Amino acid sequence: MRILGIETSCDETGVAVYDKYQGLLAHQTYAQNILHADYGGVIPELAARDHIVKIIPLILSVLDQANSSPKDINGIAYTAGPGLVGALLVGATTAKALAYAWKVPAIDINHMEAHLLSPMLEKTPINFPFIALLISGGHTQLVLARDLGKYEILGESTDDAVGEVFDKIAVLLGIKYPGGALLSKMAQQGVSGRYIFPRPMIDRPGLSFSFSGLKTFVARTILSSFYNAQNYADIARAFEDAIVDTLVIKCRRALDQTGLKSLVISGGVSANCVLRSNLLKMMRIRDGKLFYPRIEFCTDNGAMIAYVGCIRLQVGLINRDLSILVRPKWSLEELPKIR
């Protein structure tokens, strides 16, 4: 069984071919960073138009790389949500049209489930149940993954997502969108403790997050301080420390609450080195295990979509309806069960 995966939920065009027996055969991602850099965030209309230009050449190139032709493909998985409606429609329309032409099923995939399962593209097996911290530009969620398709959201951000805050603070520090990774690099030059920022919502019970207060606090600090490379690096360092501490504390709480020993992190911010190393330390002390995807599969990609498509096709969760339906909002708790 061989699946073509298509991802277009935001500003990455991702395509991959996944084979049930041979694993990932090919994958390519086109990131639109330059297109949105001057605006400080993603412009939905520009994103959708660029997906239209990139999607077909990318599919042809990935099929070629996977040594596959349309007759080798048994199903086409595409991101049906959550995401930007115009961007989602490009992937959904392409997937449905190809599925019709190639006489194979289309499989609608939830982007957050794909992030959650993305570490399973790696060799190390992960057993259910586990806690998953999903941290991207659009989401911050702590999820109890009971089994394939059975997810319970334990807590989420009531306002900005972690990645969004990284990107907004990065702009104030003079880094172009998407600035998360570069802000983290700047923080490496910073001295810890020169600035201290709050760790939001750790003094009250529960697993919810809120980052807009921290964002305002850091923004005010930047706007009222003088520019100096070391000073900006110190602020970046304090900001990253505050975010990482908050995420680590909430993960520890979720593990305590459920008694689980496995933690998965995924989504763009899971590429953050400080977060990974602090969580590794915490999991070592608890005799637990931390799982994450390889760096290129932390951010949006077609491989995770093709992988989940393969799982869902095996149990017959396909979409034969020819109507093009996308879901800009689609909770992990509303997925069709796999088993």
Rounded CA separation 273/295 (Å): 10
Enumerate residues 6+ apart whose C-beta is below 8 A from 204. Answer: none
- Please report, as residue ranges, which positions from 123 to 152 form the binding site for ligand KG4 (by CB under 6 A): 136-138
Tell me: is residue 285 an annotated ligand-binding position. no
Residue placing its CB nearer to Zn ion in the complex, 140 or 255: 140
- Please report, as residue ranges, which positions from 7 to 26 form the binding site for ligand KG4 (by CB under 6 A): 10
- Residue pair 29/302 in contact by the 8 Å Cβ criterion: yes
Rounded CA separation 184/135 (Å): 15
Size of site (CB under 5 A) for Zn ion: 2
- Please report, as residue ranges, which positions from 184 to 213 form the binding site for ligand KG4 (by CB under 6 A): 184
User: One symbol per residue from 273 to 312: x for binding ligand KG4 (CB under 6 A), - otherwise; what is it?
Assistant: --------------------------xx------------
Tell me: is residue 138 an annotated ligand-binding position. yes
Tell me: is residue 160 an annotated ligand-binding position. no
- Please report, as residue ranges, which positions from 114 to 143 form the binding site for Zn ion (by CB under 5 A): 136
Rounded to a whole number of angstroms, the minimum distance from the CB of residue 111 to Zn ion is 6
Residue placing its CB nearer to ligand KG4 in the complex, 73 or 78: 78
Q: What is the largest CA-CA distance in the chain?
A: 62
Strand pairing partners for 156? 141
| 3-state secondary structure (DSSP) of residue 44 | helix
Query: For residue 39, which of 185, 168, 165 has the smallest C-alpha distance?
Result: 168
Residue placing its CB nearer to Zn ion in the complex, 11 or 241: 11
Residue 272 interacts, among Zn ion, ligand KG4, none and using kind-specific CB cut-offs from 5 to 8 Å, with ligand KG4
Tell me: is residue 180 an annotated ligand-binding position. yes
Tell me: is residue 288 an annotated ligand-binding position. no
Question: Please, how many CA atoms are within 13 Å of residue 149, restricted to the half-sphere of its CB?
Answer: 13
Rounded to a whole number of angstroms, the minimum distance from the CB of residue 139 to ligand KG4 is 7
Tell me: is residue 300 an annotated ligand-binding position. yes
Candidates 268, 293, 302, 309: give the one binding ligand KG4 (CB under 6 A): 268
Q: Is residue 13 within the footprint of Zn ion (CB under 5 A)?
A: no
Q: Is residue 180 within the footprint of ligand KG4 (CB under 6 A)?
A: yes
Phi, psi of 57 (to 5 degrees): -55, -35
Tell me: is residue 84 an annotated ligand-binding position. no
- Residue pair 63/70 in contact by the 8 Å Cβ criterion: yes
Query: For residue 338, which of 141, 83, 151 has the smallest C-alpha distance?
Result: 151
Size of site (CB under 6 A) for ligand KG4: 19
Q: Is residue 119 within the footprint of ligand KG4 (CB under 6 A)?
A: no
- Please report, as residue ranges, which positions from 155 to 174 form the binding site for ligand KG4 (by CB under 6 A): 163, 166-167
- Compute the chain's Rg from CA coordinates: 20
Tell me: is residue 322 an annotated ligand-binding position. no
Residue 151 interacts, among ligand KG4, Zn ion, none and using kind-specific CB cut-offs from 5 to 8 Å, with none
Beta strands 106-110 and 75-81, pairing class? parallel
Crossing angle of helices 180-188 and 162-172, in 10° steps, is 60
278-314 burial code (b ≥16 CB/10 A, e <16): bbeebbeeeebbbbbbeeebbbbbbbbbbbbbbbbbe
Rounded CA separation 25/63 (Å): 9
Q: Which residues are annotated as a binding site for substrate?
A: 134-138, 167, 180, 272
Interacting residues with ligand KG4 (CB under 6 A): 10, 136-138, 163, 166-167, 178-181, 184, 267-269, 271-272, 299-300
Q: Which residues are annotated as a binding site?
A: 111, 115, 134-138, 167, 180, 272, 300
